[in-house]
């Protein structure tokens, strides 16, 4: 370590960006990630301002035998792998430009841009790219692992909309990945995570979205939870293509639209977002109402798409202590509903939540082999079991709850894999099952572009030998 510290001035000189060490002001801020349960102390944090900065930082790390971690703009991963102990954390948050070409319906997005900034830049032209659902998430991690959210049924995953990328490789080279340039790398970074290099720029396809969308959220108490899930089951196969649908279990927030007597109450929300005609969205809402009236409360309103994309931001504040497990369900079977309702009722923390993303439509129309995305493309529910507490107290209890919930639901899951962006370190053994028959190809590409596994602080794919 002494030798590393003595060479820090060389790194400072080499980078346009800023270098922060444990002796510098702001070090504790520089090493933070979103998950407050993660407390790691890198030897150096390199705030890079260009692909060239990233390349120099990677070469420096290799020469100094430092472990490399890469943190995109939001450091929003539950695993907190963007920062490690005693290594170098390459921070992309300053590589955050979003340049929109509305005529070509394309955008070039810096690898450290936040989703809220991408939405703001693209919505200025009435356009959007599919992203996640938390505005302070960085694009780099979510895009390379898949990227699912409100637009997935209409326009696929984030990775489905990447048309080219700039990538810094493990040997410091800066290359372009596109269908006609490094095509194996291009395939791998669209779903294979951060295993193959540091993506410093994404070129993405944009779609007409908004600026106004229709939101409906109907909230049911736990007494009606089973019936609400059965309504969702019956509705999902017949959803019109311009409507997205989600089921969320949570404690009702202290918001003006929630009657005071129901604030803090545990229940299930059926959420529908309309991206087309008002009538199409209204038909879905009316069908829910007819099947299960009345909800404890409803929120039905037009809203800006950019606001929709930040609707859950306050529920996921920076510093939240978090543990998560994920899996896929084919549908809400009666057995799955029984497990979900029973286990949801054991949720202790008012911050914890369950999310059931409905994946179908454009998600399922993509060719299974067109990207490295793991988990399959058949219609399904992507399930996220989130244990969250404002501080360290209580997280141990929520972790037990998350694991118990997962253990009860896993026998009913669609395969043994999971969405790779939500694989925690204690679930890394599930990675081969998550990728299925793509895994061996990913290992071969890993061996070609990162044979020494420099980029291993992620859902790591070991290079083929």
Q: How far apart are CA 157 and CA 58, in angstroms?
A: 29
- Is residue 245 assigned to a domain? yes
The model carries a pTM of 0.96
- Is residue 71 assigned to a domain? yes
Q: What is the CATH number of the domain that holds 362?
A: 3.40.462.20
Q: Please give the torsion angle defined by the CA atoms of residues 17, 23, 27 and 28, in that order, rounded to the nearest 10 degrees.
A: 170
Residues 130 and 238 in one domain: no
Residues 65 and 122 in one domain: no
Residues 105 and 30 in one domain: no
Q: Name the pLDDT band for 80 (thresholds 50, 70, 90).
A: confident
Q: Name the pLDDT band for 318 (thresholds 50, 70, 90).
A: very high
Q: How far apart are CA 327 and CA 34, in angstroms?
A: 22
Residues 87 and 102 in one domain: no
Segment 167-218, tens digit of pLDDT: 999 999 999 999 999 999 999 999 999 999 999 999 999 999 999 999 999 9
Residues 85 and 110 in one domain: no
Residues 173 and 250 in one domain: no
Q: How far apart are CA 27 and CA 51, in angstroms?
A: 23
Q: List the single range of 123-137, 192-206, 383-397, 413-427 with lowest mean pLDDT.
A: 413-427
Given this model, what pLDDT does residue 174 score?
98
Structural domain ending residue among the three candidates 53, 68, 91: 91
Residues 323 and 421 in one domain: yes
Domain count, the chain: 3
Domain that holds residue 42: 2-91
Q: Return the structure tokens found at 335.
A: 């057995």
Q: How many Cα atoms within 13 Å fall on the side-chain side of residue 279?
A: 0
- Is residue 452 assigned to a domain? no
Given this model, what pLDDT does residue 99 score?
98
Structural domain ending residue among the three candidates 43, 67, 91: 91
Q: What is the CATH number of the domain that holds 128?
A: 3.30.465.10
Segment 340-371, tens digit of pLDDT: 999 999 999 999 999 999 999 999 999 999 99
Segment 92-110, tens digit of pLDDT: 999 999 999 999 999 999 9
- Is residue 464 assigned to a domain? no
């Amino acid at each position: 370590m002494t030798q590393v510290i003595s060479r820090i001035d060389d790194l400072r000189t080499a980078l346009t960006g800023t270098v922060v060490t444990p002796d510098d002001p702001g070090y504790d801020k520089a090493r933070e990630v979103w998950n407050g349960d993660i407390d790691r102390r890198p030897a150096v944090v390199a705030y890079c301002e260009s692909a060239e900065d990233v390349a120099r930082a990677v070469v420096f790390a290799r020469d100094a035998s430092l472990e490399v971690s890469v943190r995109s703009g939001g450091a929003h991963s539950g695993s907190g792998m963007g920062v490690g102990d005693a290594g170098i954390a390459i921070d992309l948050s300053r590589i955050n430009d979003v340049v929109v070409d509305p005529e070509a319906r394309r955008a070039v997005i810096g690898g450290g841009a936040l989703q809220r900034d991408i939405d703001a830049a693209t919505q200025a032209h009435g356009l959007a790219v599919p992203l996640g659902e938390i505005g302070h998430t960085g694009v780099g991690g979510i895009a390379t692992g898949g990227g699912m959210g409100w637009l997935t049924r209409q326009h696929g995953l984030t990775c489905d909309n990447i048309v080219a990328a700039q990538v810094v490789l493990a040997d410091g080279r800066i290359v372009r990945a596109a269908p006609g340039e490094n095509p194996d790398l291009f395939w791998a970074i669209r779903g294979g995570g951060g295993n193959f290099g540091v993506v410093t720029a994404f070129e993405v396809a944009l779609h007409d979205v908004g600026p106004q969308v229709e939101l409906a959220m109907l909230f049911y108490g736990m007494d009606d939870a089973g019936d609400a899930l059965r309504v969702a089951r019956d509705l999902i196969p017949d959803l019109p293509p311009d409507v997205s649908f989600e089921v969320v279990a949570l404690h009702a927030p202290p918001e003006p639209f929630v009657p005071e007597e129901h604030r803090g109450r545990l229940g299930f929300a059926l959420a529908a977002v309309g991206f087309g005609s008002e009538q199409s969205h209204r038909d879905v809402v009316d069908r829910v109402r007819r099947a299960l009236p009345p909800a404890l409360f409803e929120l039905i309103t037009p809203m800006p798409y950019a606001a929709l994309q930040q609707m859950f931001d306050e529920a996921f504040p920076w510093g939240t202590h978090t543990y998560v497990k994920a899996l896929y369900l084919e549908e809400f079977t009666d057995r799955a509903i029984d497990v979900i309702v029973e286990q949801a009722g054991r949720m202790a923390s008012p911050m914890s939540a369950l999310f059931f993303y409905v994946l179908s439509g454009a998600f399922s129309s993509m060719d299974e082999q067109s990207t490295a995305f793991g988990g399959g493309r058949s219609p399904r529910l992507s399930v996220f079991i989130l244990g969250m507490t404002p501080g360290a107290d209580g997280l141990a209890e929520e972790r037990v709850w998350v694991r118990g919930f997962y253990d009860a639901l896993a026998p009913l899951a669609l395969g043994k894999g999971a969405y790779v962006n939500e694989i925690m370190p204690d679930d890394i053994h599930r990675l081969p099952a998550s990728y299925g028959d793509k895994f061996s190809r990913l290992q071969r590409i890993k061996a070609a572009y990162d044979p020494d596994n420099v980029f291993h602080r992620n859902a790591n794919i070991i290079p083929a030998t």
